[in-house]
Amino acid sequence: MSVYEKMSEKEIDQLANYIVSIVQNGASLKDEGAIPEGFMEGIYSFAYDFYQKGKLSEAEAIFKFLCLYDFYNVDYIMGLAAVKQLKKQYQAAIDLYALAYLNAKNDYRPVFYAGQCNLSLGEKEKAKYCFHQVSENINDQAIKERANIYLESLKDIPLVVLNTDKEDKEEQYE
């Protein structure tokens, strides 16, 4: 049972007000020094619950705060990116997914979701590239299958691959 699940409604409201006031003032809880060990997990659960209930503005505020607290935590970045994606702020979501991928060390989930965002923006070539990378590299079979479905729907779009050789910097098409 998470810290969040153990909290009363009054405690949850107090926590929400506390977090919102800190975020609005530009500080971080880490700077406040008032966080008991393991409490960030409860705050994450709180943000995720808002996300699940479709309360995207509240979830966004808390995920932003969590990202400020620990900018290298992939779960926090992915949470904020997912909120941006649902709010149809696709470019912001893509940027956050790129950051999550850089911090995730070979976790291709952010690349998959960036592909979805690119597709929503009409960037079919970029989307296909993302789904191709996921299909080739991810270990999660469910996401791999979903990437392959997207690839099948984009089969008429040329796959753009950047040539990484220093001598030849031209784009190649497969």
pLDDT tens for each residue of 6-52: 678 888 778 777 777 766 776 555 556 666 657 888 899 999 999 99
CATH of domain 88-174: 1.25.40.10
Question: What confidence score (pLDDT) does residue 129 get?
Answer: 97
Would you list the domain boundaries of the chain?
Answer: 1-70, 88-174
pTM for the structure as a whole: 0.74
Percent of the chain with pLDDT over 70: 80
Question: What confidence score (pLDDT) does residue 36 get?
Answer: 66
| DSSP codes, 110-127 | HHHHHHHHHHHTT-HHHH
Distance CA 4, CA 21 (A): 19
Question: What confidence score (pLDDT) does residue 68 get?
Answer: 81
